[in-house]
Chain A
Amino acid sequence: DAGVTQSPTHLIKTRGQHVTLRCSPISGHKSVSWYQQVLGQGPQFIFQYYEKEERGRGNFPDRFSARQFPNYSSELNVNALLLGDSALYLCASSPGTSYGYTFGSGTRLTVV
């Protein structure tokens, strides 16, 4: 079985631009979460979706948004990019909220 897949793997954007990151969860997993990991720090929670509904939102500005599709894949959108948005963006899926998460390899976003 394929694990959690994220695309693209790397991305370079200019300040002020918009970016869309994509995630396909493990087949059968209905919960998808997004995390931001800055170098040297632990992952920071951005969003969680379960059955296409937003179940949790972290302390990120409104420039960050996400959605989950009927096939449980998900997109993370970031508008008006700032230099500080440069990070590894991780997607994780699980069968439900009481289970361990399987992480994708992440998207490395660099804002210049």
Chain B
Amino acid sequence: GQQVMQIPQYQHVQEGEDFTTYCNSSTTLSNIQWYKQRPGGHPVFLIQLVKSGEVKKQKRLTFQFGEAKKNSSLHITATQTTDVGTYFCAVNFGNEKLTFGTGTRLTIIP
């Protein structure tokens, strides 16, 4: 079935270092969403990207949608302990079903 691959699966960084997670699909996507799930919590919507090559920023977070609309990335600058959690990309393949990526679990070393 259609799926999205996310890398890396885990990332451990020193506080203050940058972090990036990547999401890849074999098919062209109409849009892509990003969610953050804190340990023990529920997914929280961060952003939706729609346009080819789109770049959006939210404070220290930068989201990109690839030119071919087959991949996306989330970059966090100067990580803080509040950034801990699992970051998921999610896509709708046109069948009313939001498919989540495998997630990248970020841990911060103070």
Contact = CB atoms under 8 A, between A and B. Distances in A.
A84 interface: no
B42 A100 contact: no
B79 to A, nearest CB: 21
Interface residues of B, number: 21
Nearest to B30: A98
Nearest to B103: A42
A56 interface: yes
Contacts of B43: 43, 90, 92, 101, 103
Contacts of B100: 42-45
Contact of A56 (B31, B88, B95): B95
15 contacts: A33-B98, A43-B43, A43-B88, A44-B100, A45-B97, A45-B98, A48-B98, A50-B96, A97-B96, A100-B33, A100-B47, A100-B48, A101-B33, A103-B44, A104-B42
